[in-house]
Amino acid sequence: MSQRNDPRPLPPEIYQRRRITAVVVLVVVIALLWWVISSLTGGDDGQDQVARTAESSAVSETSPETTQESTESAASSGPSSEASESAAPSRSAEPSETEGVPDDVASKETCALDDLRLSVRPGAPTFRDGQQPNFFLEVTNPTSGECDIDLSEDELKFEVFTMDSGYSRVWGDTDCNSPTSSGRLRLDPDQSRTFEMTAWSRTTSSPDSCDNREPVGNGAYMVYGHIGDNTSESQTFNLA
């Protein structure tokens, strides 16, 4: 009669090692699956990041040019600190494309006073007590011919009208002063030039009547720019 083998249980250390091995294998499998999924879904994000980096580099390279252009523009058009009722021409602007000009004007081979485009603006929307307003007049030649205007005959001047007590004229820079911008104004096709009236004393005046000039009150006003019979659209400003 044969004797049946009676298997004995293994030591606890063996079972513990098997459990640890199984856990390690499971962790490795999960890590591999996670890595595969991340590789499949993360490719587009990497490409987008590269594109954003390249775009950022391109913007950084072009920024200095824009900043320099803005700085030069501000330096050439800033108001003067001189406190006198006079108009001073600024540096001639570089030729630029004129917008909104009829084709028959833009194609003209000659330029007359009536062809000039005048654009006036105050130095600030509001001038506080103690500030003397200044004004700018931009003159543009929209034609294809050179413009030659004699400012001794066709005066360049500024006028201010009140808006609070009816539409009435209160001041003109040539009422009590000779025009300081004289001589010939020459403009190439599509070229602009800006003149500045550096300071208005905030007092009234009228042609050939400069005695007893009265201070004007606070309120809303409008300014015009003229060269001879050519007049700009008005622009408003406030005295406060």
Neighbouring C-beta atoms of residue 182, cutoff 10 Å: 13
Out of 54, 72, 90, pick the residue that ends a domain: 72
Mean local confidence (pLDDT), 93-105: 60
Q: Do 117 and 67 lie in a common domain? A: no
Residues 207 and 130 in one domain: yes
Which residue segment(s) compose the domain that 139 sits in?
A: 82-239
Predicted local confidence at residue 139, as pLDDT: 98
Residue 182 belongs to some domain of the structure: yes
CATH number of the domain encompassing residue 136: 2.60.40.10
Residues 218 and 124 placed together within one structural domain of the fold: yes
pLDDT number for residue 32:
86
Mean pLDDT, the chain, whole residue set: 78
Provide the pLDDT confidence category of residue 99 given band limits of 50, 70 and 90: low
In the predicted structure, residue 96 carries a pLDDT above the cut 50: no
- d(CA 233, CA 100) in angstroms, rounded, equals 15
Q: Which of 47, 72, 97 is the last residue of a domain?
A: 72
Residues 65, 103 within the same domain: no
pLDDT tens digit sequence for 21-60: 888 888 888 888 888 888 787 655 555 554 454 444 443 3
Per-residue pLDDT tens for 124-159? 999 999 999 999 999 999 999 999 999 999 999 999
Antiparallel, parallel or unpaired: β 230-231 and 219-227? antiparallel
125 and 198 share one domain: yes
Closest of 165, 154, 170 to residue 215, by C-alpha? 170
The whole-model pTM stands at: 0.60
